Amino acid sequence: MTVRPPCTALNVPKTVVLIGMMGSGKTAVGRRLAKRLNLPFVDADAEIEAAAGCSIRDIFELHGEAAFRAGERRIMARLLDQPVRILAAGGGAFIDPDTRAQIAAKGISVWLKADKEALIRRLRKRSMNRPLLHTKNPSAAIERLMAEREPIYALADITVESVDGSTEDTVTRVLKALENYLRKRGQMVS
């Protein structure tokens, strides 16, 4: 029998938006975090695909990255207007200034920060929905994206290291960081 980690009494006042590079664990951590907080979970990439009626790969191929980004901006705005939930954003969402402003106004951003080796290891087998990695040298693409994006991810409200090992450990660290963040702002209700 698996022992379920307990729900926590932490009362989150705004949608928690998980941001960070592809492969940083936003979806896996987000699902478990949602269970622990007893909140709904939503994955922005899945919502974009549902709205477009085709895969991210096809959106990039048929319409180009700019069209994908426009769709992502619209979906993120819609999701941020819904009741409090856990939202896993696509890796590029927080880089868009409009989406970043929406997240700052309506959410709490949590950067799952992973190192390059861990990302390369995790992404080796999972590049299907990640057209930005469909290049001759995906490791170099990851490195370039990290260099461009990390200064922007660092603007998040909270940063949590996403290290290899148990996803549940990362979830526990996110919960602790959220609790500290809310306590500092006097928003802690339990």
H helix runs in the chain, sequence order: 26-37, 44-52, 56-63, 65-80, 97-106, 116-123, 138-153, 167-184
- Tell me: does residue 129 bind ligand S3P (CB under 6 A): yes
Based on the number of CB atoms within 10 Å of its own CB, is 97 exposed (0-12), middle (13-18) or buried (19 or more)? exposed
- Give me the count of residues in the chain: 190
- Tell me: does residue 90 bind ligand S3P (CB under 6 A): yes
Residue 75 sits at the vertex; the CA angle it makes with 132 and 130, to the nearest 5 degrees, is 15
- Tell me: does residue 30 bind ligand S3P (CB under 6 A): no
- Tell me: does residue 131 bind ligand S3P (CB under 6 A): yes
Give the nearest distance from C-beta 134 to ligand S3P in angstroms.
Answer: 10
For ligand S3P, the closer CB: 7 or 128: 128
Choose, by CB under 6 A, the member of 86, 130, 162, 182 that binds ligand S3P: 130
Choose, by CB under 6 A, the member of 132, 152, 155, 163 that binds ligand S3P: 132
Per the CB < 8 A criterion, the answer to whether 36 and 11 are in contact is: no
- Tell me: does residue 56 bind ligand S3P (CB under 6 A): yes
Q: Which amino acid belongs to residue 2?
A: T
The window from 101-109, 123-131, 151-159, 171-179 that contacts ligand S3P (CB under 6 A) reads 123-131
Short-list 51, 47, 45, 38, CA closest to 85: 38
Give the nearest distance from C-beta 29 to ligand S3P in angstroms.
Answer: 11
Where on the chain is the footprint of ligand S3P (CB under 6 A)? Answer: 22, 26, 45, 56, 90-92, 129-132
